Amino acid sequence: MSDEEKRRWKGPTGDKGSSGRQMNERKIRAHHAKSDSSKQWLERQMADPYVRKAKLEGFRARAAYKLLEIDEKVGLLKRGQRVVDLGCAPGGWLQVAVAKGAKEVVGIDLLPVEPVVGAHIIMGDVNEPADVARMMKGLTGKPDLVLSDMAANTTGHKQTDHLRTVSLVEMAVAFAVEHLAPGGAFCSKVFQGGATKDVLEMLKANFDSVKHIKPPASRAGSPEIFVIAKGFKG
């Protein structure tokens, strides 16, 4: 092999050195992509007026303003209410309910939630009767309002994510129908065009009015909207 050929020769296909370099390059690209994604998220958070407002006004999450805007539009929150918050982490909706003068506020989440003054919080599962019973001990009567901002962890697979979300909404509706006081109300996050036909039928059968709302605090690019049902028939 001439000197020129030696300079041109790159080694056999599958050469370990070359493969190792390619693997490292892929790892570096993946790391940069992850870093870029985190950077974009941080930049969006810093530029978000609701995030800044939440920090100034002492709310734990920008989601608090979604509930405040829904309430402004349909009048969900009233003084003296008993309120249940399903999937209450990090506690922003609990804070809103307390601030609006609810008599008793309880919440449950699979994740730990820092205490909120005026709220009874349980770390547990809505599907577990024992956990629900512990939460309901914080109320002296049936709730007047059931809230749910529950969202499933996304997988990236649209159909799977949709089914998980529908399951959570159905769970919240079933809870509301079982526990609400007559005349009570229900508010839940839904996705992709609103509540499913089965959920809507169940709500319409048990409540006087049902509507969908997308509050301004819900990001324009987000598929989330909220279903509001009022006038529980008991």
pTM of the model: 0.79
Q: How many CA atoms lie within 13 A of 63 on its CB side?
A: 23
Note the maximum CA span of the chain.
93
**7-58 tens-digit pLDDT:** 443 444 334 443 444 444 444 344 444 566 566 545 555 567 888 998 988 8
Report pLDDT for 113: 97
Question: Partners of 82 in the beta sheet?
Answer: 104
**Known catalytic membership, residue 142:** no
**125-149 tens-digit pLDDT:** 999 999 999 999 999 999 999 999 9
Query: And the tokens for 29?
Result: 């690209």
**209-233 tens-digit pLDDT:** 999 999 999 988 888 899 999 999 9
Catalytic residue among 16, 27, 158, 189: 189
Cβ–Cβ < 8 Å for 126, 147:
no
Q: What is the DSSP letter of 181?
A: P
